[in-house]
C-alpha cells in the first residue's frame, strides 16, 4: 500500500512539473514570451515598440513607444551592412576582394546563426556579405568587421562613431552581431538607420531581398532568408502564408532578451514604407504584426502632390532683375511637394515665407533654370506633426542683357520719375 501511495505521489509530481513547463504547446518556463508586456494601441499590435514611416518624406504614419531603447538582436547587422557598403563606395573595400577568415571570426558557438567558416577559409566580400544579409551569419559578419577595421572591437567603436554621426541618440553597440542584450536602439533610430541605408546604398535591397543563396557548392542546401515576409516567398509552400507583396527587406533579429524583432520595407504603386516591430511574441508574429502595419498604411493613406514642378505660384510669378531687356523674368517651382495624407481628405500646405534674391544680385544676362529664391511651406501630417518643405524658384527663360542705349534711356526715365516723385512729396 505504501509503495502504491509513493508511486502515486511521484506520478502526480511529474504531471505538475510538465504542466508548469507547457501551456498551449508553448514552453513558458523556458521562454515566457506570453508573459512579455504588450502595449495598448489602436491597431492592437502585441509589441513593445513599433514605428512605420513613409520612405521619401520620412512622415511617421504609426508609432508605438518609438523612443525606448531596447535590445535589437541581429538588427544590429544593419549597421554592419551599412559600414561595409560605405567602405565599398569609398574604394577601401571591393565586392570581389578575398578575405581570409581569422580565428576571431570563426570562433562561433554552435547555437549561433552561422555559415560554419573555418580559420583560413577564403571568400569574397560579396559572398560573406550575402551570408550576413540573407542568413544572418555571425561568423561572416565578424569576418567582414575584421576586414574593415582589423579587429572586432575596433569595428564596434566604428559602429558607435557612425551612430553618433547619423544622430542615432539611443544607439549603443557592444557587438557586431547583436548577441549581447547590451546592444540597444529605439525603434525610431532603427527606422532612421534603415532609411539612411536605402537613400545612400542603392544596392542594399538587391541583397536583402534575396530569397536564398548557395554559399558553397558543397553545401547540401542554400541559405534561406530569415525574412519570411519577402514578396518572392509567394512561391514557397511553407512560407507563402507570411509572404507580403512588395516586401524586399530588411532584417530580422532574435535573442531571449529582445524577443522577435523585424525591420522591414515594402513598396507598392510607387509608395515605400519602412517599419520596425520590437519584442513580438513569436517568429511568425513579427511578420504578422508588420503586415498589420502595412495593411493599415495602404488602406488609410495616399500620396498627393500639392505643388507640381514647374508651376506658377500666385504672388511670385516674376522676379525683378537689373540690366535685362525686360525688368522682370518669369519663375516657376523647381520641384514638387508631395505629401502622404489620409484618403478622402484634402491636402493643403501653407506658405510660410519666401526668400527671393535681391534685385542687385540678379543682373542680366541670366540663364533659364537659374535659382532665384526659395519658398518655405509647412504641412500638418496625419499624426499631427508639422513638416517643413522648401521649393526652389527657377527662371523659365534666358534674360538677355539690354543694350547700352536701352539702359541709358531706362536710367534717364528712372531719374526723371524719381525726381518727379520727390517734387510731389514736397507738396
What is the structure's pLDDT at 38? Answer: 56
| Range list of β-strands (E), 256-316 | 259-268, 271-280, 301-307
Give the whole-angstrom CA distance, residue 339 versus residue 304: 6
Residue 386 CA, chain-centre distance (Å), reads: 20
Work out the average pLDDT over 199-214: 95
Out of 72-76, 229-233, 356-360, the most confident range is 72-76
Asked if 185 and 49 touch (Cβ cutoff 8 Å), the reply is: no
Are 255 and 313 in the same domain? no
Q: pLDDT tens digits for 352-405?
A: 999 999 878 888 788 999 999 999 999 988 878 888 999 999 999 987 775 554
- Choose between 192 and 411: higher pLDDT: 192
Structural domain boundaries enclosing 207: 27-301
SS (H, E, C) 2-13: HHHHHHHHHHHH
Given 267, 301, 335, the domain boundary residue is 301
Residue 421 C-alpha cell reads as 516723385
Please indicate, yes or no, if residue 11 is contained in any of the structural domains. Answer: no
Which of 77, 186, 292, 323 is labelled catalytic?
A: 77
Q: pLDDT tens digits for 319-335?
A: 998 876 788 899 999 99
What is the structure's pLDDT at 426? Answer: 62
Are 141 and 254 in the same domain? yes
Residue 46 sits at φ, ψ, to 5 deg, of -95, 80
Give the whole-angstrom CA distance, residue 388 versus residue 332: 19
Are 290 and 314 in the same domain? no
Q: Grade residue 33 by pLDDT with cuts at 50, 70 and 90.
A: very low
Give the predicted TM-score (pTM) of the model.
0.80
Task: Based on the residue annotation, tell me whether 343 is a catalytic residue of this protein.
Answer: no
Please indicate, yes or no, if residue 169 is contained in any of the structural domains. Answer: yes
Is 251 annotated in some ligand binding site? yes
Given 247, 272, 301, the domain boundary residue is 301
What is the structure's pLDDT at 363? Answer: 81
Work out the average pLDDT over 146-171: 98
Which of 48, 49, 113, 136 is labelled catalytic?
A: 136
Q: What distance, in Å, lies between the first and last C-alpha atoms of the chain?
A: 130
Task: Based on the residue annotation, tell me whether 136 is a catalytic residue of this protein.
Answer: yes
Q: What is the DSSP string of 193-206?
A: HHHHHHHH-TTHHH
Are 196 and 297 in the same domain? yes
Residue 302 C-alpha cell reads as 495616399
What is the structure's pLDDT at 314? Answer: 93
Report how many domains make up the chain: 2
- Cα four-point dihedral sign 350, 58, 61, 384: negative
Domain CATH for 111: 3.40.710.10
Residue 120 C-alpha cell reads as 583560413
DSSP, collapsed to helix, strand or coil, labels residue 66 as coil
Are 258 and 390 in the same domain? no
Query: Which of 1-15, 146-160, 206-220, 258-272 shows the lowest mean pLDDT across its residues?
Result: 1-15
Say if residue 347's pLDDT is above 70: yes
Asked if 173 and 76 touch (Cβ cutoff 8 Å), the reply is: yes
Are 196 and 312 in the same domain? no
Say if residue 7's pLDDT is above 90: no
Task: Based on the residue annotation, tell me whether 417 is a catalytic residue of this protein.
Answer: no
Amino acid at each position: 500500500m505504501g509503495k502504491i501511495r509513493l508511486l502515486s505521489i511521484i506520478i502526480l509530481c511529474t504531471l505538475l512539473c510538465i504542466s508548469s513547463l507547457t501551456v498551449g504547446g508553448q514552453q513558458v518556463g523556458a521562454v515566457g514570451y506570453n508573459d512579455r508586456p504588450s502595449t495598448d494601441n489602436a491597431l492592437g499590435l502585441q509589441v513593445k515598440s513599433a514605428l512605420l514611416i513613409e520612405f521619401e518624406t520620412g512622415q511617421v504614419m504609426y508609432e508605438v513607444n518609438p523612443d525606448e531603447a531596447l535590445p535589437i538582436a541581429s538588427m544590429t547587422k544593419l549597421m554592419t551592412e551599412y559600414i561595409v557598403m560605405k567602405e565599398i563606395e569609398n574604394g577601401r573595400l571591393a565586392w570581389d576582394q578575398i578575405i581570409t577568415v581569422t580565428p576571431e571570426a570563426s570562433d562561433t558557438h554552435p547555437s549561433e546563426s552561422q555559415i560554419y567558416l573555418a580559420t583560413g577559409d577564403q571568400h569574397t566580400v560579396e559572398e560573406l556579405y550575402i551570408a550576413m544579409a540573407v542568413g544572418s551569419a555571425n561568423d561572416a559578419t565578424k569576418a567582414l568587421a575584421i576586414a574593415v577595421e582589423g579587429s572586432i572591437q575596433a569595428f564596434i567603436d566604428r559602429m558607435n562613431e557612425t551612430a553618433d554621426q547619423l544622430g542615432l541618440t539611443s544607439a549603443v553597440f557592444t557587438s557586431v552581431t547583436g548577441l549581447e542584450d547590451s546592444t540597444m536602439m529605439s525603434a525610431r533610430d532603427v527606422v532612421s538607420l534603415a532609411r539612411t541605408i536605402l537613400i545612400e546604398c542603392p544596392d542594399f535591397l538587391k541583397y536583402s531581398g534575396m530569397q536564398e543563396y548557395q554559399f558553397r557548392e558543397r553545401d547540401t542546401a542554400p541559405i534561406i532568408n530569415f525574412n519570411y515576409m519577402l514578396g518572392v516567398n509567394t512561391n514557397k509552400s511553407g512560407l507563402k502564408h507570411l509572404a507580403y507583396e512588395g516586401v524586399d527587406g530588411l532584417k530580422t533579429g532574435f535573442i531571449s532578451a529582445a524577443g522577435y524583432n523585424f525591420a522591414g520595407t515594402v513598396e507598392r504603386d510607387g509608395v515605400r514604407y519602412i517599419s520596425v516591430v520590437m519584442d513580438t511574441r513569436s517568429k511568425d508574429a513579427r511578420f504578422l504584426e508588420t503586415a498589420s502595419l502595412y495593411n493599415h498604411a495602404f488602406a488609410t493613406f495616399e500620396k498627393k502632390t500639392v505643388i507640381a514642378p514647374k508651376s506658377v505660384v500666385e504672388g511670385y510669378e516674376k522676379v525683378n532683375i537689373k540690366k535685362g531687356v525686360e525688368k522682370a523674368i518669369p519663375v516657376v517651382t523647381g520641384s514638387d511637394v508631395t505629401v502622404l495624407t489620409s484618403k478622402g481628405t484634402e491636402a493643403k500646405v501653407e506658405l510660410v515665407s519666401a526668400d527671393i534674391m535681391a534685385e542687385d544680385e540678379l543682373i542680366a544676362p541670366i540663364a533659364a533654370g537659374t535659382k532665384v529664391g526659395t519658398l518655405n511651406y509647412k504641412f500638418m501630417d496625419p499624426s499631427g506633426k508639422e513638416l517643413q518643405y522648401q521649393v526652389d524658384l527657377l527662371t523659365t527663360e534666358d534674360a538677355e542683357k539690354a543694350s547700352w542705349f536701352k539702359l541709358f534711356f531706362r536710367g534717364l526715365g528712372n531719374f526723371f520719375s524719381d525726381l518727379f516723385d520727390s517734387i510731389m512729396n514736397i507738396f
